[in-house]
Structure 1
Amino acid sequence: MAQAFPPGGTFFDNAKRSFANVPVNNSKDNAISTTEFLEASESLTKLFDVLGSVAFRPVANDMTGNIKKIRDRQLQAPMDSESLQELVRNELKTKKHTATEGLVWLTRGLDFTSQALRQNLTNPNDELSTSFRNAYGNTLKQYHGMLIKPIFSAAMSATPYRKDFYAKLGDDQTRVHKELGDWLTALEERVGILKEFLGRKENKY
């Protein structure tokens, strides 16, 4: 597999966009900019390449499919989709919910990923398999049926050793841990905003 970071850098140097660079308009109900959010989400899916197992392909494909649903709606109605919140409200007015459903599932996938990595970063003795399994139980598992759960369980068991994963993120481990922590904080903030927004009664479909 190709190295995930440039010489002397980290994985995050290659990311097209960090969640820290996804605008949030606090004066407009924490409106999250659609274009930048989708770019950051696409960058996150590259992390599953670093995890290195084909077992994670369904996880990455699921996220990519949901990103496409949201972007398709944005391209269809750009003036109504500048923020994710506007996109949802305006799509639901049309009695359709393809992109809204995509955002719900993308948010769940991002929540799963952020919880797994945060737990692993906070608990230096935990292997990735433990962190990902715990995060799956806290997030996606409740929404998955009998056919999907084994696929995700296989992915949890196929995670690389902790030391190998972090080595693929960069040579300077102090910098890797700091940048991963900053990236996660921004991701967690935006996931929290979306979970609250999508949980509102008027945004159910």
Structure 2
Amino acid sequence: MTDSPTFFDQMKRSFTDVPLEGDNRIPTAEFLEASESLVKLFDLLGSAAFQVVESDMNGNITKMKKRLGEDPEHSKTLQGMVLEEVKEGKKKTGTQALLWLSRGLQFTAAAMRETLEHPEKEMDVTFTDGYKRTLIKYHSMFVRPVFKLAMRACPYRKDFFAKLGADQEKVLSQLREWLDALEKIVKIIMDFYESGNYGKGL
């Protein structure tokens, strides 16, 4: 029973396996692989209501992959991609996609951190708290009800954790490590955007 793989074992890449380069530069390809693996977490939440979250994140991943394919030299790291788009002064497709993807990751991290630290709370509560602390301020009055509906559709905590893996001790240990790595990377990205005001108007 304990040898069966967990959700984290089956990830194509975990955020714990995204190597940081000098000056905390984040490699784009590895970051996108880890992000794709994270999006699969919403499948485990098992509600059609989360499709809006998934499609938004997947759409931004696709845009960033396109940018990486078009200019692999400058887009090798996330920071390099943003700085090159700023220099070009054209439509900042990659910069906008990364910003919105990072906001989605920030929401996921906040919701899962709340879930991990408060085992007494059900996930509709922890995900709603995470949403209020992150994404809600960027959403219009039309988008908010859609996300609030998704939060209310969260499964029972025990059912969700059972889907993460049979060995709950291992699941909790891997979740903690993954979450620490995710929060660290999201913080680096958000601090970078703030340092140059790169998200202005996006």
Is 1:23 equivalent to 2:27 in the alignment?
Answer: no
Q: How far did residue 7 of structure 1 move?
A: 6.5
Q: Answer yes or no: is the 8 Å Cα contact 2:164–2:171 preserved in 1.
A: yes
**In structure 1, the residue corresponding to 2:8 is in which secondary structure?**
helix
The equivalent of 1:11 in structure 2 is 7
Equivalent residue letter for 2:134: T
1:52 to 36, 46, 54: 46
The equivalent of 1:34 in structure 2 is 28
Instruction: After TM superposition, list the pairs within 5 Å mapping 1:1-205 onto structure 2.
Output: 8-25=4-21, 27=22, 29-95=23-89, 96-205=91-200
Q: Answer yes or no: is the 8 Å Cα contact 2:26–2:77 preserved in 1.
A: yes
- Distance between the aligned counterparts of 1:172 and 1:74, measured in 2? 38
Q: TM-score, normalised by structure 2?
A: 0.95
Please, which runs of 5 or more residues in structure 2 have no aligned partner?
Answer: none
For residues 70-119 of structure 1, the C-alpha deviation after alignment (integer angstroms, 9 at most, x for no partner) is 11111000001110000000012112211101111011000000110011
Q: Closer, same or farther in 2 for the Cα pair 1:144/1:73, shift >3 Å? A: same
Please, which runs of 5 or more residues in structure 1 have no aligned partner?
Answer: 1-5
Structure 1 segments, 4+ long, off by >4 Å, are none
For residues 25-64 of structure 1, the C-alpha deviation after alignment (integer angstroms, 9 at most, x for no partner) is 1x3x210000000000000000000000000000010000
Q: How far did residue 9 of structure 1 move?
A: 1.6
For residues 112-163 of structure 1, the C-alpha deviation after alignment (integer angstroms, 9 at most, x for no partner) is 0011001110111011111100010010000000111011000000000000
Q: TM-score, normalised by structure 1?
A: 0.94
Equivalent residue letter for 1:85: Q
Equivalent residue letter for 1:13: D
**In structure 2, the residue corresponding to 1:124 is in which secondary structure?**
coil
Q: Answer yes or no: is the 8 Å Cα contact 2:96–2:199 preserved in 1.
A: no
Instruction: Report how many residues are paired.
Output: 198
**In structure 2, the residue corresponding to 1:78 is in which secondary structure?**
coil
- Distance between the aligned counterparts of 2:84 and 2:177, measured in 1? 32
Q: How far did residue 15 of structure 1 move?
A: 0.4
- Distance between the aligned counterparts of 1:8 and 1:99, measured in 2? 38
